[in-house]
Amino acid sequence: MKMLTFKKGEVIFKQGDYADCMYDIVSGSVGVYVAYGTEAENRLTVLKAGEFLGEMGMIEAYPRSATAVALEDGTELREIGEVEFGDYFKTQPERLLAIMRQISGRLRDRTADYEGACAVLNGLKETQGEPEKRSQSLLERAKALIKFYNDVMAMAAATPQMNTGYYDYYINRF
């Protein structure tokens, strides 16, 4: 395993690259993007020290599904190759549980996204041909999103020790 250090804005890997390793974030933060550098660019998440990236491509032997970019100068990553993968987790089994939790959280987030998209589509289908109802339905959802945002910000302000990373992810997506 080798340690790598990146400057702010430096690309760690690109969407579509062959995946032969994953990374354990030691310090700093990493932005994960689809369509990076294009008009359709979308930041999926920000990962911080203690989290992993690149594990999906390495485990599945698929091309990278997104581009990873260092968000801070001095972002340090531990590169874990396919050969070192088993040994790394044998010596640090708690990190295996951390990666499983991270993958589980991502799956839970995608499920929530899917359910939200289905609800919007069902709402559009129900109001098809009735533009006034469709506009009202979308307005109600926008109001609910604003209320959610305000509630999260109030909780974060009232509880400084609260880990808002999960909420930041959702807020940044909207």
Task: Render 108-126 in DSSP notation, one character per residue.
Answer: HHHHHHHHHHHHHHHHHHH
pLDDT tops 70 at residue 51: yes
Task: Summarize the confidence of residues 126-147 as an average pLDDT.
Answer: 63
Residue 14 confidence (pLDDT): 95
pLDDT tops 70 at residue 130: no
Percent of the chain with pLDDT over 70: 72
**What's the token pair of residue 13?**
């890997």
Indicate the domain borders of the chain: 2-100, 127-168
Q: What is the CATH number of domain 2-100?
A: 2.60.120.10
Alpha-carbon gap, residue 105 to 111, rounded angstroms: 10
Q: Compute the mean pLDDT over every residue in the chain, rounded to the nearest whole number.
A: 80
Alpha-carbon gap, residue 133 to 104, rounded angstroms: 37
Asked if residue 30 lies in contact with residue 55, where contact means CB atoms within 8 angstroms, the answer is no
Q: Judging by beta carbons within 10 Å of its beta carbon (0-12, 13-18, 19+), is residue 76 exposed, middle or buried?
A: middle
Task: Summarize the confidence of residues 156-172 as an average pLDDT.
Answer: 48
Alpha helices in 28-174, H assignment, sequence order: 55-60, 82-91, 93-126, 131-158, 165-173
Alpha-carbon gap, residue 49 to 47, rounded angstroms: 7
Residue 60 confidence class, pLDDT cut points 50, 70, 90: confident
